Amino acid sequence: DAGVTQSPTHLIKTRGQQVTLRCSPKSGHDTVSWYQQALGQGPQFIFQYYEEEERQRGNFPDRFSGHQFPNYSSELNVNALLLGDSALYLCASSLASLAGLTYEQYFGPGTRLTVT
Amino acid sequence: AQKITQTQPGMFVQEKEAVTLDCTYDTSDQSYGLFWYKQPSSGEMIFLIYQGSYDEQNATEGRYSLNFQKARKSANLVISASQLGDSAMYFCAMREWGGIGGATNKLIFGTGTLLAVQP
């Protein structure tokens, strides 16, 4: 049973460029959340996708956008990269529950983005 | 707004001893969930333990237990019989209530505690 996978593992970009990060959820999961973790900080929620729609968003600018595909995999896109976007980007998957009772949320290994 | 506070940037513990990592939280919601995650140097967040706000008993998972004191808004993690492999960053997190039908998986994290287990 494959867990959450992310690609690429590492990425180096230049200021002003655009980047796309990818995430495949754990088998059976249908919800994907993205987090940004700056060095020495806890992860910050970017947004969550369910049924191919953005359902909730954290305090991130519109330069951060995403997409969820019919197979539940997801992409995170960041435009006009800034030095401050350098961070570990974590993807987490879970199974949606209308009752909100489930708490299982599994994280991938992350993509480390460096902006120079 | 919800907030998680971890006041211990770093902790040392001797192998085989118990250690408590502190976590306090702030929320006006009656329904919420509290989590602890372990993050080794590899970066992956590993789920350790969960406590629901309506759970009457403290959660336990193997060597991990959560000391939940609702009135004090604290959710401390206790690791018994520490092992060298326990050396890592530990994050306390709270699930915010909202989103689809009231359910969401948005987690609010603290700043973490770096635990070093000494032989």
The pLDDT of residue B1: 78
* Interface residue A32 vs chain B (CB under 8 A): no
Burial of A32 (0-12, 13-18, 19+ CB in 10 A): buried
The answer to which of A4-8, A18-22, A63-67, B92-96 has the lowest mean pLDDT is B92-96
User: Cβ contact (<8 Å) for A90 and B45?
Assistant: yes
Across B66-105, b (16+ Cβ under 10 Å) vs e yields: bebeeeeebbbbbbeebeeebbbbbbbbbbbbebbeebbb
Centre a 10 Å sphere on the Cβ of residue B8 and count the other Cβ atoms it contains: 16
> A63 pLDDT band (50/70/90 cuts)?
very high
Q: Report chain A's mean pLDDT, rounded to a whole number.
A: 91
Q: The tokens of A12 are what?
A: 């180096």
The pLDDT of residue B6: 98
Q: Which residue has the higher pLDDT, A103 or A31?
A: A31
> A28 pLDDT band (50/70/90 cuts)?
confident
The pLDDT of residue A97: 62
Q: Which residue has the higher pLDDT, B105 or A80?
A: A80
The pLDDT of residue A114: 98
Whose CA is closest to A45, among B37, B94, B112? B94
The per-residue pLDDT for range A10-19, each reduced to its tens digit, is 999 999 999 9
Q: Report chain B's mean pLDDT, rounded to a whole number.
A: 91
Most B-contacting residue of A44, A49, A55 (CB-CB within 10 A), to test interface: A55
* Interface residue A105 vs chain B (CB under 8 A): yes
Which stretches in chain B have pLDDT values below 70? Answer: 97-104
Q: Which residue has the higher pLDDT, A113 or A2?
A: A113
The pLDDT of residue B54: 87
Contact yes or no for A48/A32 (Cβ under 8 A) = yes
Say which DSSP state B102 is in: G
The pLDDT of residue A71: 95
Choose among A92, A103, A107: nearest Cβ to B50: A103
Residue type for B19, please?
V
The pLDDT of residue A10: 97
A56 pLDDT above the threshold of 60: yes
**Torsional class of A62: left (φ above 0), alpha (ψ -120 to 50), beta (otherwise):** alpha
Instruction: For residue A83, report the phi and psi dihedrals to the nearest 5 degrees.
Output: -60, -35
Total count of residues recorded for chain B: 119
> A99 pLDDT band (50/70/90 cuts)?
very low
Q: Tokens 């940037």 sit at which residue?
A: B9
User: Cβ contact (<8 Å) for A33 and B106?
Assistant: yes
The pLDDT of residue B31: 83
A109 interaction partners in chain B (CB closer than 8 Å): 42-44
